[in-house]
Amino acid sequence: MGVSQNEKILVTGHRGMVGSAVCRRLADTDCEVLTAPRETLDLTRAEATEQYFDAERPDTVIFASAKVGGIVANDTYPVEFLTENLTMAVNTIGAAYRHGVQRFLFLGSTCIYPRDCPQPITETSLLSGLLESTNEAYALAKIAGLKLCQYYRRQHGVTYHSAMPTNLYGPGDNYHPEHSHVLPALIRRFHHAKLTGQPSVELWGTGEPRREFLHVDDLADAIVHLLSLESPPDWVNVGTGVDLTIRELAEKVANTVGYQGEIQTDPSRPDGTPVKCTDVTLLHECGWKHQIDLQQGLENTYADFCREVDAGKLRSA
Ligand SMILES: NC(=O)c1ccc[n+]([C@@H]2O[C@H](COP(=O)([O-])OP(=O)(O)OC[C@H]3O[C@@H](n4cnc5c(N)ncnc54)[C@H](OP(=O)(O)O)[C@@H]3O)[C@@H](O)[C@H]2O)c1
């Protein structure tokens, strides 16, 4: 449950991976879901945002809109990543407050924690060290949005709070050949290797780094749960707390896809951080735990990938 009957909930970014999962989850409730495509509501435009809140008067906002991108895009266009994300957050959080919204859930990300913070990552690591330089602009904007929620809560008594999801996967993911995240990239590569009869697939690096993955439908469920709490934490990690090596992940993806060739590694390529995993103690204390295990989630995601390929609608922008 988590949300009240007839509650009007605005989901921003509803066509995105997270926003669409949240809309699917809310479809099981009695609330009224409001959405607005970017063509009619560009959240970087302050006046349009105010007018929207004036007209629609949501009770609650789930903020799943963002300008997101891979390392190359983040590194090449830091001006746009900082400006657009910051402006969207300031406009939306401010307009919500000015129009009586009592509940606001802001989407952060574990990628905004400091680069070298202790593992597993706890919520107290925020702002405790230097950010990863390649996504600094994005992280600064997100941190500002998250802190703005905290400040509104402290100064004005509204329940504005944030969730910090780990790496996500699931329906609606981006399968761009160069810019996608590791899990969708592996699905795409193994699928292609199976169809073309490739004898082997090569992983970048040693395959030893450990990573954590959460199905986006679990995130949507966690969001609805957090909205049901009277006094949620200002920000809380949303993950599984379970990690595996990239090699183990690749083996699981290959099995799911039905690829029977070899998996090779290329240790001459960089590995990145050896371990990245969230501490989910606070999340569990909040009464929520993930439900979808990785194998089940991979099967569901691969089925969705195949449907999208067949329909010629695979997202790869
Ligand atoms: N994906 C992950 O692995 C992951 C992990 C941790 C946290 N998160 C967080 O979750 C949030 C959503 O991510 P996502 O993966 O769902 O991203 P996504 O699939 O790219 O979706 C982003 C959405 O934001 C909308 N948007 C962008 N600029 C806008 C603007 N100016 N006005 C109105 N809408 C705008 C986009 O609209 P269009 O449909 O028009 O493009 C899109 O619907 C982000 O804050 C991200 O940091 C994601």
Taking the complete model, does pTM exceed 0.95, yes or no? yes
Residue 118 counted as domain residue? yes
CA 253 to each of CA 40, 148, 176, 256: distance values in angstroms, whole numbers, following the listed order = 39, 39, 17, 5
Q: How does DSSP classify residue 112?
A: G
Residue 31: inside a domain: yes
Evaluated on CA atoms 266, 175, 302, 212, the torsion sign reads positive
Range of the domain at 81: 8-170+213-240+278-292
Answer whether residue 92 is part of any domain.
yes
Whether residue 302 is contained in a domain is answered as no
Which residues form ligand 1's pocket by a CB distance below 6 Å?
13, 15-19, 38, 42-44, 64-68, 88, 107, 109, 165, 167-168, 181
Question: CATH number, domain at 158?
Answer: 3.40.50.720
Looking at ligand 1, which atom is closest to the CA of residue 169? 3
Q: Which of the 8 DSSP states describes residue 108?
A: -
The stretch 195-208 carries a mean pLDDT of 95
> 140 lies in a domain?
yes
245-249, 277-281, 312-316: segment of lowest average pLDDT: 312-316
- In a domain, residue 144? The reply is yes
Residue 19 Cα to ligand 1 middle (Å): 7
Mutate to test the pocket of ligand 1, among 10, 38, 183 (most ligand atoms within 8 A of CB): 38
Asked if the model's pLDDT at residue 69 lies above 90, the reply is: no
Q: How far apart are CA 224 and CA 79, in angstroms?
A: 33
For 288-308, how does the pLDDT look when each residue is reduced to its tens digit (9 = 90+)? 999 999 999 999 999 999 999
Average pLDDT of every residue of the chain: 96
pLDDT value of residue 1: 46
151 among known catalytic residues: no
Nearest CA to ligand 1 atom 44: 66
How much distance in Å is there from the Cα of 39 to the middle of ligand 1?
15
8 A C-beta contact, residue 273 and residue 134: no
Q: Is residue 181 part of a domain?
A: no
Q: Which two tokens stand for residue 253?
A: 């993806």
Say whether pLDDT at 73 is over 90.
Answer: no
Q: How many domains is the chain partitioned into structurally?
A: 1
Confidence check: pLDDT of 165 > 90: yes
Instruction: Give me 120's structure tokens.
Output: 């597993």
Token pair 């949300």 in the structure block, residue? 3
What is the reported pLDDT for 2? Answer: 64
Q: For the segment 18-57, what is each residue's pLDDT rounded down to a tens digit? A: 999 999 999 999 999 999 999 999 999 999 999 999 999 9
Average the pLDDT over 212-217 and give the result: 98
Catalytic choice (52, 97, 113, 138): 138
Q: For ligand 1, what atom is nearest to the CA of residue 18?
A: 16
In a domain, 312, yes or no: no
Ligand 1 atom nearest the C-alpha of 174 is 19
- Whether the per-residue pLDDT at 317 is higher than 80: the answer is no
